[in-house]
Structure 1
Amino acid sequence: MTAADREALVRRLIADVWNGAREATAHEVIAPDCPGLGGSGPDGVLAWHQERRVSFPDLRYKVVDLIVAGDRAAVHWRAAGTQMGQFGPVAPTGTVVSYSGATFLRFDAEGRIADVWSVNELFQLLQQLGVEMLPPA
């Protein structure tokens, strides 16, 4: 698998799975033992994104920058959506939010995504929803 193939696979993950919730694509590109926030494998990745879409039904991710090196990839992304459902303790606000993050991926020998690790601007997202963060007394 070439770097161009891996880049195309990451872009497909974001377009088809993160944005499109396409189960068939998730099962094709994600290894069965890939750890994730919603559980392992394709079903875990889908579960996490389905839960996020309950809060932000129109949430869409856009690739800002993508780097592939060997069996690893790093993608800087931007997401935007309208909070129409409960998000943790935050009741629906109807607020449009926009935030950034970075996701780091590792590919297995079969060319599937074997590991995913993400960081994002959750604090910024919560501020946009009107959550007031106070330091402990």
Structure 2
Amino acid sequence: MSDKIKIRRILTEAFSQGKTEVLDELMTEDFVNHNAAPGMDTGRDGVKAVIRVERQGFPDLKVEIIRDFEDGEFVIQHVRLTGTHTGTVFGVEPTGRTISWNEMHIVKVRDGRVSDHWACNDLHVLLTQLGRMTPPDTSAFRQAAAGA
């Protein structure tokens, strides 16, 4: 089985189903999440905490893999997360709205297990949908496009 297929289980089983125990199988003992929030555990336990927080706010959270590919010892994933905001998350009481945001993940694989993780996510999109952030003023872009 390719690393890409194996690593998908982190998203499909751990994040989408809440089965955090699969992380012990799929991540090395010395795993490092290079994008952990300040003060957060950068190891597997930190990822388990992220899953618990996200699933508390979005119990029906699902991760759709838009595209993924392998490049040597790296697996790159573009994903969309979607869930109904029925629990408190990031200090926001439930809105009942369906929330969706995108993420990009790059993982380094060593001996068939993830040893390192880097990510970019649409946190501003998530926080805007939750009402924690005001959307940016994009009128200048619209005006420039109209004048082009």
Q: TM-score, structure 2 length as denominator? A: 0.79
**Distance across 2 between alignment mates of 1:97 and 1:117:** 23
Selected match of 2:5 from 8, 15, 35: 8
**Distance across 2 between alignment mates of 1:52 and 1:98:** 12
Q: Do the aligned partners of residues 24 and 90 (structure 1) sit closer, same or farther apart at CA in structure 2, a change above 3 Å counting? A: closer
The one-letter code matched in structure 2 to 1:62 is E
1:28 — aligned with what?
A: 25
CA offset at residue 102 of structure 1?
0.5
Q: Tell me the percent identity.
A: 28
Gaps of 5+ in 2: 137-148
SS where residue 91 of structure 1 aligns?
A: coil
CA offset at residue 111 of structure 1?
1.5
Matches within 5 A, 1:1-137: 5-36=2-33, 37=36, 39-108=41-110, 110-133=111-134
The one-letter code matched in structure 1 to 2:126 is L
Q: Do the aligned partners of residues 50 and 18 (structure 1) sit closer, same or farther apart at CA in structure 2, a change above 3 Å counting? A: same
- Rg: which structure is higher? 2
Contact 1:59/1:79, CA 8 A, preserved across alignment = yes
CA offset at residue 132 of structure 1?
4.2
CA offset at residue 105 of structure 1?
0.4
The one-letter code matched in structure 2 to 1:10 is I
Runs of 4+ in 1 over 4 A off after TM superposition: none
Gaps of 5+ in 1: none
The count of residues paired between Structure 1 and Structure 2 equals: 131
Contact 1:79/1:100, CA 8 A, preserved across alignment = yes
CA offset at residue 89 of structure 1?
2.9
